[in-house]
Amino acid sequence: AALAAAVLPQWRQSSYAGDAIITAVGLHEGLWMSCAAQSTGQVQCRLHDSLLSLEVHIQTSRALMVISLLLGFFGIIVSVVGMKCTKVGEEDPVTKSRIAVAGGVLFVLSGLCTLAAVSLYATQVTYEFFRESTIPINARYEFGSALFVGWGAASLSMLGGSLLCCSCPAKERRGQQYHRQSQPSTAREYV
């Protein structure tokens, strides 16, 4: 879902608020491209020209989404190694649990990066919408569907990561099992 949110061009879309519709063209902008959808169904997209000419919030959101995707990718790899059902890595269950916790931490960090990117972009869209300007309301931008996909992805990633973090092993579990096995049986003492 974070990957879908990152590549979708609907981070903000033209607003249909107001009394009159100025054009029959819907404008969508994302992190990587901007699109114009006409009422006939034809969609034309154009990549952003230059990285350095973009606004700061778009550059920051791009960087955070790329970091989020990388953290999520490494989180998947580390979590698979830490699962009890895989034969990859250590055979020690405590070590495998710690590896799973590390994967959970990566997922939580990935979700936080996604949440920060989407919320930063949404804050900028909100600021531009309510800013006093000469632009009519129906020519301004509002939230696009990719923002909601990003919020959902961030929530699911943080939830999954926190569940993986709950698989942390109890301290000295091995010592307690050994202690219980080394005690003599009470039935043998009375015989």
Q: Is the confidence at residue 177, as pLDDT, over 60?
A: no
Confidence (pLDDT) at 175: 47
Question: How many Cβ atoms sit within 10 Å of the Cβ of residue 169?
Answer: 16
Angle at 59 between CA 57 and CA 60, to 5 degrees: 65
Confidence (pLDDT) at 55: 80
Domains delineated in the chain: 51-169 (1.20.140.150)
Sign of CA dihedral 87, 89, 94, 98: negative
Confidence of residue 91 (pLDDT cuts 50, 70, 90): confident
Confidence (pLDDT) at 113: 93
Q: How far, in Å, CA of 94 to CA of 151, rounded?
A: 33
pLDDT per residue as tens digits for the range 111-168: 999 999 999 988 888 887 777 666 656 567 778 888 899 999 999 999 989 988 887 6
pLDDT per residue as tens digits for the range 18-55: 555 555 677 778 888 888 877 777 778 888 777 677 78
* Residue 33 phi, psi dihedral angles, 5° rounding: -155, 165
Contact 47, 35 (CB under 8 A): no
- For residue 35, give the 3-state DSSP assignment: strand
Q: Is the confidence at residue 68, as pLDDT, over 60?
A: yes
Question: In sequence order, what are the beta bridge partners of 13?
Answer: 28, 142
Confidence of residue 184 (pLDDT cuts 50, 70, 90): low
Token pair for 96 = 């495998």
71 contacts: CB under 8 Å, gap ≥ 6: 106, 107, 109, 110, 113
Most trustworthy range by pLDDT among 46-60, 76-90, 98-112 = 98-112
Sign of CA dihedral 8, 6, 166, 74: positive
Contact 31, 58 (CB under 8 A): yes
76 contacts: CB under 8 Å, gap ≥ 6: 103
Per DSSP, helices labelled H in the chain are: 2-7, 56-82, 93-130, 145-165, 173-182, 186-190
Q: Is the confidence at residue 110, as pLDDT, over 60?
A: yes
Question: How many Cβ atoms sit within 10 Å of the Cβ of residue 15?
Answer: 17
